[in-house]
Amino acid sequence: MLEVRGGNPLDGTVRVRGAKNLVPKAMVASLLGETPSVLRGVPKIRDVEIVTGLLELHGVRVSSAPDGDQPDGELHLDPADVAQGSIVDIDAHAGSSRIPILFCGPLLHSLGQAFIPDLGGCHIGDRPINFHLDVLRQFGAEVVKTPGGIMLKAGSRLQGTKVELPYPSVGATEQVLLTAVRAEGVTELRGAAIEPEIMDLIALLQKMGAIITVDTDRVVRIEGVETLRGFIHRALPDRNETASWASAALATGGDIFVAGASQPELITFLNIFRKIGGEFDVQESGIRFRHPGGRLRSFALETDVHPGFMTDWQQPLVVAMTQAEGLSIIHETVYENRFGFTDALRSMGAKIQLYRECLGGTPCRFGRRNYLHSAVIAGPAALKGTRIDVPDLRGGFSHLIAALAAQGTSEVHGIELINRGYENFLDKLSGLGAEVSA
């Protein structure tokens, strides 16, 4: 439990390192190489700990220098002794993460088999693994369901294939990339996700010796190779953490410099941040975000896959929008249950109404499926401290922002979920002048 005393602007500097949505996948990619890999910019987050443990269970040697000697967050990954891990150990270690599904392609290439335990992750909507299993079957893998999970087997080398995704799923795109690079022949992926983290993964795989072409209209072609080498790679900065701190500055009337933040991956977010009334300054070493004073402006927004407005940016920004003048409308088109976190905001005094209708023109999968996936926010609202239970990673950090913007004291329970994607967030909050105590 975290006790938060709100009502004060956040002011100061925080640093972001490599993206949570890239670093764990880059670690998995090290399984594909025949020589060691070096990954830089690695944050100390729970997802990295989980993948480190899973890699070690499969015989990969993972080492890092202490921050005092190596402040860059550098990991060394050596797959020389890769082996099948214990099913019991894998299941026990990976219960809170969905990353194990991405081990399948690399392990099928190296060992001819892979085990997937029951998968966890944030409860923000339906994220089935059937995309992944269908893709792996197309490559030639045999899928066998067991009481504790799923066993996959490959009797011979996996074969390149043609894959068309019905939706540009990030996870399914990663699965194809990590499997196709060592499959025999050419793989063509249509409907691919093209998020910056996907492009960074492609750059990393190319360093390893992969041959990958990214065409227009979300078409990716991979020419399989027999062997790959290790990589030396610096992960791109975490744009989601950056947007979260930017939203915190806006919601609390603060001024936060995010060291390590990069502009190109945030252009869509920065446009909205400016339209709302926030100000930012892009500098060589990061981006400064601040509330200039006065009222924020209401707006209408729809989330979408890249290059649209990221769904992960929506939740922290909703908190800031409770302080905007007038009615704001947000249409969520990526995850159907992403507005569950607003219950806590309403208990704090926010005026938020949810709707099943699509309040926007972006093509949406949820309009006729009875999901509360549009929100109307009336502001400004005076938020008051209360008890909060964290529902998921981004929603949890959004609750922290609300508690910091509210008058009075809040009790935030379940903060361990926030550790999945925010490095040293309690120390960072204290450094910004927040009054928090565990």
The end-to-end CA distance of the chain, in Å, is 6
Q: What is the pLDDT of residue 119?
A: 60
Q: What is the pLDDT of residue 244?
A: 97
Rounded CA separation 415/346 (Å): 20
| Backbone φ and ψ of 178, nearest 5° | -70, -20
Rounded CA separation 280/272 (Å): 11
Q: What is the pLDDT of residue 128?
A: 65
Given the residues 104, 122, 358, 364, the one annotated as active site: 122
Strand 2-6 versus strand 408-413 pairing type: antiparallel
Where the chain has pLDDT below 50, the residues are 68-70, 120-126
C-beta neighbour count of 281 within 10 angstroms: 10
Q: What is the pLDDT of residue 126?
A: 45
The two structure tokens encoding residue 363? 């093509």
The predicted model scores a pTM of 0.94
Q: What is the pLDDT of residue 95?
A: 63
Rounded CA separation 377/375 (Å): 6
Query: How does pLDDT run across 246-294, given as a tens digit for each residue?
Result: 999 999 999 999 999 999 999 999 999 999 999 999 999 999 999 999 9
The single residue listed with the structure tokens 């249409």 is 331
Reference 360, options 327, 330, 321, 326; nearest CA is 330
**Contact predicate 231/207, CB 8 Å:** yes
| Backbone φ and ψ of 4, nearest 5° | -125, 125
Task: Supply the DSSP string of 177-222, one letter for each residue.
Answer: HHHHTTSBSEEEEES----HHHHHHHHHHHHTT-EEEE-STTEEEE
**Contact predicate 394/335, CB 8 Å:** no
Tell me, yes or no, if 364 is annotated catalytic.
no
Rounded CA separation 308/311 (Å): 9
HSE-up of residue 107 (Cα within 13 Å, Cβ side): 23
